[in-house]
Amino acid sequence: MSSTGVGGVAVGIDVGGTKTALGLVDLSSGRVLASLEIPSEPPLGAGALHERLVAAVAQLRAEDNEVAAGVAVPELVSPGGLVITDVVIPGLLGDLRATWADLRVVAVESDVRAAAVAEATFGYGRTFDPFAFVSVGTGVSYCVVWGGQPWAGVHGAAILIGSGIVVEDSADGPPLEAVAGGPGILARYRALGGEAERAHDVVARAGDDRLAAETVVAAGRVLGFGLAEIVNMIDPAAIVVGGGLGSVGGPYWDAAVEAARERTWAYVAREVPLVRSELGPDAGLIGAALVAGGLGRRETP
């Protein structure tokens, strides 16, 4: 079965700063038929990642080598589908449809916009329009979706809330994602004397570990400041928060919601729905597959 449009299947590849998630996705329902993960290992660069993807994609395509693939990347992607930064994965620049042609890549999108497409098609975006999608994992990024279409901006740079907001009163203070994202959470916990291998472990311990609770509440409040800025700037019908950390409830989420309410300026917007992604961490790979199937695709300028 080919993925020439919604109703077929496609491979979604969601490249992250820590891991890369892949799935074979039914485009008519968003259901992930098969999935697997491989380490991204950013220091090894895009070439090494591609080599690992060859075997992984082949495994997902066991029954049909003609199934197309879409790729979501944690970088800036131009309206024409070109990767224009390689901050997270060195060497991940240019037209992946050409350089990764052996994977049958037909579409490339920023990871947060791909996830937003999925949420607009099969998640809470079906209810709210326009809405903002915020992805929280290794980094923090956002996308505005109006009429089911993600807004990329003129240059593809309309995702940068995590690196664009400074959270201290100085020009060289840390950006939001350095505090609210996974590496920031892990670093703060360790600095307080805690021991953990992953940010998810810290978040999971927040209910019975004082240091973990202090860490995730502080990080959640900073995330909430960012959510409030989105409300203050664009006044959306809702904010949907996803990604590996954004999909998790508990003290991190509760602190983010509380801080967002405090920092929202207009009283009429203080009760805007703040909800966790209906699709959870799979939104990125589902969205990458949907983009391969033609949804959310923009014309090349």
Return d(Cα 196, Cα 199) in angstroms, integer: 7
Q: Tell me, what's the pLDDT at 296?
A: 66
Question: Average pLDDT of 257-286?
Answer: 95
pLDDT tens by residue, 85-117: 999 999 999 999 999 999 999 999 999 999 999
Confidence grade of residue 299 (pLDDT, cut at 50, 70, 90): very low
Confidence grade of residue 6 (pLDDT, cut at 50, 70, 90): very low
Return d(Cα 182, Cα 203) in angstroms, integer: 10
Question: Average pLDDT of 11-37?
Answer: 95
Question: Average pLDDT of 209-230?
Answer: 95
Per the document, the length of the chain is 301
Question: Average pLDDT of 177-206?
Answer: 94
Query: What is the residue type of 55?
Result: A
Q: Count, in order, helices (H) and strands (E) of the chain.
A: 11, 10
Q: Is the pLDDT of residue 256 over 50?
A: yes
Least confident range from 7-16, 42-51, 156-165, 256-265: namely: 156-165
Q: Are 274 and 131 in contact (CB under 8 A)?
A: no
Confidence grade of residue 206 (pLDDT, cut at 50, 70, 90): very high
Triad 155, 134, 254: Cα angle to 5°: 155
User: DSSP letters along 231-246, please?
Assistant: HHHH--SEEEEEHHHH
For residue 74, cis peptide bond before it (omega within 30 degrees of 0): no
Q: By CB neighbour count within 10 A (0-12 exposed, 13-18 middle, 19+ buried), where does 261 fall?
A: middle
More confident residue, 132 or 297: 132
Confidence grade of residue 4 (pLDDT, cut at 50, 70, 90): very low
Question: Average pLDDT of 211-216?
Answer: 96
Q: In order of start, what are the domains of the chain with their CATH numbers?
A: 9-111+282-292 (3.30.420.40), 124-278 (3.30.420.40)
* Assigned token pair, 38: 């491989």
Identify which of 243, 251, 174 has the alpha carbon closest to the alpha carbon of residue 218: 251
Q: Are 178 and 139 in contact (CB under 8 A)?
A: no
